[in-house]
Amino acid sequence: MIRTAAILFRKDLLVEVRTLQSLTAMVLFSVMAFVLFHFGLDRDTISGSLAAGVLWVTLLLATVLAVTRLFVAEREQGGFETLLLAPIDRTAVFVGKAASLFTFLVAVEIVALPAFDILLLQGTILDGMPQLLAVVLLADVGLAAVGALVAALGAETDARELVVPLLLMPLLVPVVIAAAKASAPLLSEPAASAHLGRWLLMLTFYDLAFVLVSLGVFDYLLED
């Protein structure tokens, strides 16, 4: 199962590297969102819980973009039939897709976090650093798992663009809560880390719960 997942994961990465569609969209969206927030909030710099909120809501919306497109290659080039005819475990598809989504998120964050730092923080992001990285990575796992599940749920409907965001946003509220609460002190000046353990624990718990749920139900999706 792992090998199949790895193959699917590599295929997705290769497709993305060649076309760069999703990644460019996500990066541009994030940077544009930061600019909009500058004007919308009428602030040059933000910190603390305001900064955490801007960062995480932006990342959440960028995830929505990626999720809507997660199965698009399969749909357009008839890859679905090939996938379904092959005697592979559906869970391999889940692991592969979730891994791709996770990688996309990390790639986007490599650009978006420095952009956020330059545009809206005052270059202070490194103060919160190794802890902020832990928060981001744990949150990404949750975003990737739930994102892959919702992508599959929406894969066969025509109302995909409506269903995916409306499904994703409530489901990801706990991630936003935990990540924002954890990041807020890390993004203040001076960077502190109040209660970090509690929020990291919540993120871990959420990630575990939804990875297990997805592994359990994914077999019943994409079945034909």
Q: Which residues bind other proteins (CB under 8 A)?
A: 149, 153-154, 156-159, 162-163, 166-167, 169-171, 173-174, 177-178, 181, 198, 202, 205-206, 209-210, 213-214, 216-217, 220-221, 223-224
Determine the straight-line distance between the first and last CA of the chain, rounded to whole angstroms: 20
CB of 27 to other proteins, least distance (A): 28
Alpha helix ranges (H) inside the chain = 2-19, 21-41, 48-68, 72-76, 79-85, 90-119, 129-155, 160-171, 173-186, 196-217
CB of 53 to other proteins, least distance (A): 12
Whose Cβ is closer to other proteins: residue 87's or residue 170's? 170
Kindly calculate the radius of gyration of the chain based on its CA atoms and give it in whole angstroms. 18
CB of 148 to other proteins, least distance (A): 12
d(CA 214, CA 39): 39
Whose Cβ is closer to other proteins: residue 47's or residue 49's? 49
Whose Cβ is closer to other proteins: residue 27's or residue 147's? 147
Whose Cβ is closer to other proteins: residue 95's or residue 125's? 95
Block residue for tokens 């791709």: 100
Whose Cβ is closer to other proteins: residue 5's or residue 222's? 222
Cβ atoms of 193 and 131 closer than 8 Å: yes
CB of 123 to other proteins, least distance (A): 29
Can you say whether the dihedral through the CA atoms of 193, 194, 197, 199 is positive or negative?
negative
Measuring CA to CA, which residue among 161, 156, 179, 182 is closest to residue 68? 161
CB of 163 to other proteins, least distance (A): 5
